[in-house]
Amino acid sequence: MWRDEEFSVGVASLDEQHKGLFSAFMNLGQSIENVYDDKALGVMLNLLFIQMEGYVKTHLRYEELLLEKWSFPELEAHKQKHDLLENELAAYKKCLDAAEDEQKKAIAQQISLFMERWLINHIQGDDRAYGPHLRKMGVV
């Protein structure tokens, strides 16, 4: 799924984090397929979601700090896109918490699809836009 020419921002630490996020969310969709006990699935999804939300937030903060450090001129607009994603994830979490166990698999599949699409659009459309600035500053 990952191809440097489509997704690389040209900074190794960020590319590694982006790759990690991709595989985490693609695995979410796949790893729940083989669990048939709704109750066990509900517990597992709570843990997985918290873990993945943690990865996402850690990445967003890291990226924002790097952009701030190197004075990326469109930092505020970029941060707003991150904030929107965090709101979206918080809404999904509420939805997951409120759902009956037998509905959780379908919600988790939606989250996994939503995140895959978000990551593709955001990395290609927004993250790659800061690549030239960071490279000009000598960040590798």
Span interacting with Fe ion, options 40-48, 93-101, 103-111, 122-130, rule CB under 5 A: 122-130
The H or E element that residue 33 is part of is none
In this complex, which beta carbon is closest to Fe ion, that of residue 7 or of residue 41? 7
Q: What's the rounded Cα separation, in Å, for the pair 89 and 71?
A: 28
**How is 99-130 classified by DSSP, letter by letter?**
S-GGGHHHHHHHHHHHHHHHHHHHIIIIIHHH
Nearest to 88 by CA among 65, 66, 111, 67: 111
* The only residue of 96, 111, 127, 134 in contact with Fe ion, by rule CB under 5 A: 127
Which 12-71 residues touch Fe ion, going by CB under 5 A? 63
Residue 6: both structure tokens together: 């489509």
Q: What's the rounded Cα separation, in Å, for the pair 52 and 75?
A: 24
Question: Smallest gap, in angstroms, from Cβ of residue 13 to Fe ion?
Answer: 11
Question: Smallest gap, in angstroms, from Cβ of residue 82 to Fe ion?
Answer: 6
Question: Smallest gap, in angstroms, from Cβ of residue 109 to Fe ion?
Answer: 23
Which 61-80 residues touch Fe ion, going by CB under 5 A? 63
Q: Which residues contact Fe ion by CB under 5 A?
A: 63, 127
